[in-house]
Structure 1
Amino acid sequence: MPQVEAKESKVLISVIIPVYNVRTFLPELFENLKGQNLTHTEVLFIDDGSADGSSEELDRLAKGTDFIVIHQENSGVAAARNHALDIAHGEYLCFIDPDDRISINYLQVLKQVAHDNHPDLIITDWRKVVNGVQQPLYLAPIDFPQFPTTQLVLTEILSSGRIIGSLWAKLFSAKLFQDNRFPIQRTSSDYASVLSAICKAHHICYAPGIFYAYTADRATSLQNNQKPQDIRDSAQVHEKTAQLIRKEYPALANLLRIDLLNSAQQACIHICRSRAIKSDERKALFRHYRKPIMHDLIYLMKRSGSLKYKMIMLCIAVGYYPTYFMLHISAAKQR
């Protein structure tokens, strides 16, 4: 197993950043990181065989810093993150996507909360960034508790979307990723591992006053270019996770029905948005994933939820073309 010499006497946080063909985002990301308090912190960039000049840009920007840049052959984001897990020295792990940003003092606050409370997991607030405009925060408005239970965190992931089952906007104890690697697939490779880690977390803290900014509209992102296998992989991850939660937290079983319906919704949305699915495959794939939504449409319309959410579900139940046009009209209005 390859090892990298630690720069600090004790590394409290390892920041893990997979990089693939995001050259234009790297200068701003480096400035964002340089503005953080990086004592007892190592920053690991894993370049996954970029072909757009990101590799050279990483090496250039990292000169004169303590940032660690590792280059590997293109193997996918899951393999890049697994590589980072193998060489990270931190007691805690912080994951950042290269097109996203963290707020001022993000790492400093995480270190302070970790030092004071010794949690297994820290949750932070987050917001979307659309067309460069920051959207409202998700947790601050609801006065989220400082010490949430594992069941509450899982409930938010499965039902409200105020916490996302992704790596970002969280700080994990490294022990939560022992024997918990990312499956080698292009989409949703983090979801099952994140939910597994959360299920093992006994002491959780919420760190208010900081946030993770998620870039939600990058046209070249994988989310907007999914292939049929990517759609299937994402759906299977949610099914696998449902089995885990039923076993560990049986009281949440009813919420899994909604999560699986939301997974079907996301599959249909990605089918409509993807530029990587052939036109003759779209409608057949769409019909497959719309089935559970059609079956449970009355239930979805009766339960509490936003009008926008219900309209999306209704469009999906009606068919491919209404969903396709609704999504494209909505995207045009945001431009």
Structure 2
Amino acid sequence: MTKKPLISVILPVYNAKKTLKKCIESILGQKYSNFELIIVDDGSTDVSDVICDGYRFHPKVRVFHRRRQGEASARNFGLTKANGDYISILDNHDWIAPEMLSEMQSAIRDTGSQIAVVGRYLTGDHESILMDQFTDNKAILDNKMALRELLLERRLDSLVGDKLFASKLFNEFRFPTGRSHIDIGSTYKLLARANRITHIGDPLYYRKREESDLNSPMGQRNLDLLLFSQDIVGFIKKNFPYLESEARYLYYHNLKNYRAQLSQYGAEDSYTNFWIKTYFKRSFLSAMLNRYFSLSEKATMVLARVGAYRLARPSVDYYSVNSRK
């Protein structure tokens, strides 16, 4: 019997005592047997480090403790310890269905893909299901098609957790450290490296919504998302120029959400307030001409432009993956 490929599951951990045990148990409860779990405690100050150590004698688990350096650094450290043919990188707030790794690996094997993607559930308090996302999207895509779907946030988006990657995609690749929203600054590059991506469609990933990020003043961490969005436009112009309109749409979409959120909750500092407003003003006319912007999105842009901010509230997309990472 041919041995199943090894999957390395990397789990950065930081102050997640409320959700960590459920997350780890969901990984250890996978139907797929040939995996290793690499837990990287990134200087937790609650009891998360103790919870991690409770699993250190499990035969599939390795636990590492480091001083606080941020999630990207913890992911990069985990990559240096991974032995797998495939890489899964999860969030310590989330959990996965028992069949997720098995279904992903089977899809990769059957289609010759380098990346597998699943649908997901967005969950709220007490693990209630708020909505499903990117489900019933079964498809086999090349990297150009996958990038287009990501830029338009249709079949998939930048979340890393609902994807399984061939380990070779991480050769000479590391997540950007010292910044927020690292998924949006990374996933497009991994998709571009893959020849084929398969989407399973079934919702097998459970993502916890973070309310604090949705109803709080904007900070400099939010500017990272806009800067990464600008990087995507530059990358696409250079490598996939026929997708430039789609790349600009993603930037305008994120900018529109942030401008409306800024109008509701303000900013923590004048620097953030200035740059969100400046980026918005600079992009307004070109955004209005972008063919992927819906009429409702354009209406939100107009309302924000003329100062009728409160009328824009219903159009803010609070379910975007970009709200947390």
TM-score (norm 1): 0.81
Deviations 1:7-50 (A, max 9, x none): xx876211111111111111211222232124210111111101
The answer to whether residue 229 in structure 2 is matched with residue 238 in structure 1 is: yes
Q: Which whole-Å CA distance do the structure 1 matches of 2:264 and 2:37 have between them?
A: 34
**What is the percent sequence identity of the aligned residues?**
23
1:313 aligns with 2:304: no
Aligned position for 1:227: 219
The alignment status of 1:74 with 2:68, answered yes or no, reads yes
Greater shift in the superposed pair: 9-18 or 246-255: 9-18
Which amino acid in the other structure matches residue 169 of structure 1? D
Secondary structure of the 2:103 match is helix
1:198 counterpart = 2:191: yes
Shift of 1:247: 2.1
Q: Structure 1 residues 87-96 or 260-269, which shifts more?
A: 260-269
1:178-327 map, 5 Å = 178-219=171-212, 227-228=219-220, 230-268=221-259, 271=262, 277-278=268-269, 283-296=273-286, 298-299=288-289, 305=294, 307=296, 309-310=297-298, 312-319=300-307, 322=310
Distance 2:266 2:305 in 1: 22
DSSP 3-state at the match of 2:31: coil
Q: In structure 1, what is the equivalent of residue 322 of structure 2?
A: none
* Structure 1 spans left out of the alignment, 5+ residues: 1-8
Given that 1:271 and 1:285 are in contact with CA atoms closer than 8 Å, whether structure 2 keeps it comes out as no
How far does the alpha carbon of each residue in 1:158-206 deviate from its partner, in whole angstroms, 9 at most, with x for none?
1134411231211111111111111112312232321111111112222
Which residue of 2 is the match for residue 164 of structure 1? 157
Residue identity matched to 2:255: A
**For the residues of structure 2 that align with 1:52 and 1:276, how far apart are their CA atoms?**
28
- 1:206 and 1:231 map into 2 onto residues whose CA distance is 29
Distance 1:31 1:13, change over 3 A: same
Residue deviations 1:187-242, cap 9 Å, x none?
122323211111111122222434222212342x69967632x2332222122222
Name the CA shift for 1:81/1:163 in 2 (closer, same or farther; >3 Å): same
Whole-Å Cα distance in 1 between the matches of residues 135 and 118 of structure 2? 10
Return the alpha-carbon distance in structure 2 between the equivalents of residues 304 and 325 of structure 1: 17
Give the match for residue 145 of structure 2.
152
Check 1:67–1:21 CA distance in 2 against 1; reply closer, same or farther (3 A cut): same
| Larger displacement relative to structure 2 (262-271 or 194-203) | 262-271
Aligned residue type for 2:285: H
**2:173 partner letter:** N
Q: Deviations over 1:102-160 (max 9, x none)?
A: 1231111122223334421112112322343324433334x432x11212211111113
- The residue aligned with 2:45 is 51
- The answer on whether the counterparts of 2:17 and 2:46 sit within 8 Å (CA) in structure 1 is yes
